[in-house]
């Protein structure tokens, strides 16, 4: 019998400790492709002061009086086009990413996933991990490029949850990996595989990143620079491969919302411009997304296709995100293992 057991009072609550937790975190998703679920999701998402930097006293009346009464129905229609038997593609893929590496670090390491907005929540997962004895936890925001509206909100929510917890776990955070060799190698290999499988050779390839308001760049957010660095380093790798010989690469930003000036060039505008100037064969990759979601499966694959074809294009494809591809899983495993150094 150990000293601890000898000196515990008879009514001492059971305690678990000594395990390590890994929590993959992605943006989030509504619970279902209906207006009510989307409204609850958008209310949480668009109330985050990091996401919408307008003062709450000005923004909340707009959000509650206009946006939450008009946008959910339209967004629900988009989600209904991509919803599967397994639910939200984003949540499903993130869960499968966690499952794919769950057994790679030993029985003492528990790998799980959470959504920043929606379910399963960061709060729920952190409490579950600590209850399972995880006194060391690696938080892995699945955003290659750092942005205050994505990466920083994960920090905010983790801090909020821990503020209410008596026994604090030791924490580590996966840093942005926009220029990480593991990430660039995985992207280059997987995109090459997918282009090889196409029935046509593209003339142009768009590297489309999620857009952000222009003011985020002006206020010092590194996101714009991270996106362009990722695009440049990825392009340099792809240009040396025969599958991409003669392909013109362009970096664009998608998902504009509201009247503010956003980062440019815009993906939708560029698709129309390419079709109108005579480009016939075009592919789009979304290297800023760790998993396919409504922005890639509906906005790029469906809306983007229509825009390009109606402007005169003929052949169009949107390439999958890394998801649970072999390249993606190898990358994720290696990055997590590196960040767990000294713990395992």
What is the rounded CA–CA span in Å between residue 312 and residue 146? 36
Q: Are residues 282 and 218 in the same domain?
A: yes
The pLDDT of residue 208: 98
Burial bucket for residue 159 (CB in 10 Å: 0-12, 13-18, 19+): exposed
Q: Does 191 fall in a domain?
A: yes
Q: Does 12 fall in a domain?
A: no
Closest CA relative to residue 100, chosen from 290, 296, 234, 284: 290
Q: Are residues 51 and 191 in the same domain?
A: no
Evaluate whether 283 touches 191 at the Cβ level (below 8 Å).
Answer: no
pLDDT tens digits for the chain (344 residues)?
344 555 666 776 666 778 999 999 999 999 999 999 999 999 999 999 999 999 999 999 999 999 999 999 999 999 999 999 999 999 999 999 999 999 999 999 999 999 999 999 999 999 999 999 999 999 999 999 999 999 999 999 999 999 999 889 999 999 999 999 999 999 999 999 999 999 999 999 999 999 999 999 999 999 999 999 999 999 999 999 999 999 999 999 999 987 889 999 999 999 999 999 999 999 999 999 999 999 999 999 999 999 999 999 999 999 999 999 999 999 999 999 999 999 99
Q: Are residues 159 and 239 in the same domain?
A: no
Q: Are residues 85 and 202 in the same domain?
A: no
Q: Which of 176, 194, 211 is the last residue of a domain?
A: 176
The pLDDT of residue 2: 44
User: What CATH number does the domain containing 70 carry?
Assistant: 3.40.50.1400
Q: Are residues 187 and 150 in the same domain?
A: no
Evaluate whether 209 touches 288 at the Cβ level (below 8 Å).
Answer: yes
DSSP assignment of 110-129, as one string? EEEEEEEESSSBHHHHHHHH
CB atoms within 10 A of CB 205: 23
Q: Does 4 fall in a domain?
A: no
Q: Does 8 fall in a domain?
A: no
> pTM for this structure?
0.93
Domain range spanning residue 289?
181-318
**Prior bond of 120 cis (ω within 30°):** yes
The pLDDT of residue 260: 86
* Number of compact structural domains in the chain: 2
Evaluate whether 296 touches 321 at the Cβ level (below 8 Å).
Answer: yes
Q: Which of 118, 144, 176 is the last residue of a domain?
A: 176
Q: From residue 228, how far is each of 73, 76, 232, 268, 287 by CA, in Å?
A: 34, 32, 6, 18, 11
Neighbour order of strands in the sheet with 281-285: 248-254, 204-210, 281-285, 315-318
* Residue 321 dihedral angles phi and psi, to the nearest 5°: -70, 175
Q: Does 94 fall in a domain?
A: yes
Q: Are residues 132 and 242 in the same domain?
A: no
The pLDDT of residue 312: 98
Q: Does 330 fall in a domain?
A: no
Q: Are residues 121 and 138 in the same domain?
A: yes
Q: Are residues 240 and 171 in the same domain?
A: no
Q: Are residues 156 and 186 in the same domain?
A: no
Q: Does 326 fall in a domain?
A: no
Q: Which of 155, 176, 197 is the last residue of a domain?
A: 176
Q: Does 323 fall in a domain?
A: no
Q: Are residues 160 and 190 in the same domain?
A: no
Q: Are residues 101 and 186 in the same domain?
A: no
What is the rounded CA–CA span in Å between residue 41 and residue 67? 12
Q: Are residues 245 and 298 in the same domain?
A: yes
């Amino acid at each position: 019998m150990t000293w601890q057991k000898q000196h515990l009072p008879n009514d001492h609550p059971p305690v678990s400790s000594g395990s390590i937790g890994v929590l993959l975190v992605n943006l989030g998703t509504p619970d279902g492709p209906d207006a009510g679920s989307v409204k609850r999701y958008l209310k949480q998402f668009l109330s985050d002061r990091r996401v919408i930097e307008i003062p709450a006293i000005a923004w909340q009346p707009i959000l509650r009086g206009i946006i939450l009464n008009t946008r959910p129905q339209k967004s629900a229609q988009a989600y209904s086009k991509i919803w599967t038997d397994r639910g939200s593609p984003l949540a499903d893929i993130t869960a499968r990413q966690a499952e794919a590496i769950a057994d790679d670090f030993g029985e003492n390491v528990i790998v799980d996933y959470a959504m920043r907005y929606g379910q399963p929540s960061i709060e729920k997962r952190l409490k579950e991990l600590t209850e399972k004895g995880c006194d060391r936890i690696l938080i892995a925001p699945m955003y290659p490029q750092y942005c205050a509206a994505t990466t920083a909100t994960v920090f905010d929510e983790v801090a909020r949850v821990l503020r209410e917890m008596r026994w604090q776990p030791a924490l580590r955070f996966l840093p942005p990996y926009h220029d990480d060799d593991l990430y660039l190698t995985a992207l280059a290999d997987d995109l090459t595989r997918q282009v090889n499988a196409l029935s046509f050779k593209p003339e142009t390839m768009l590297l489309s990143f999620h857009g952000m308001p222009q003011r985020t760049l002006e206020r010092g957010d590194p996101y714009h620079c991270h996106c362009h660095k990722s695009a440049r380093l990825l392009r340099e790798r792809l240009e040396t491969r025969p599958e991409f010989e003669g392909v013109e690469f362009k970096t664009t930003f998608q998902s504009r919302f509201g009247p503010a000036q956003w980062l440019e060039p815009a993906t939708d505008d560029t698709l129309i411009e390419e079709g109108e100037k005579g480009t016939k064969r075009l592919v789009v990759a979304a290297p800023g997304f760790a998993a396919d979601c409504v922005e890639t499966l509906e906005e790029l694959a469906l809306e983007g296709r229509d825009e390009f074809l109606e402007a005169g294009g003929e052949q169009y494809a949107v390439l999958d995100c890394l998801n649970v591809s072999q390249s993606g899983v190898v990358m994720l495993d290696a990055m997590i293992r590196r960040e767990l150094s000294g713990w395992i």
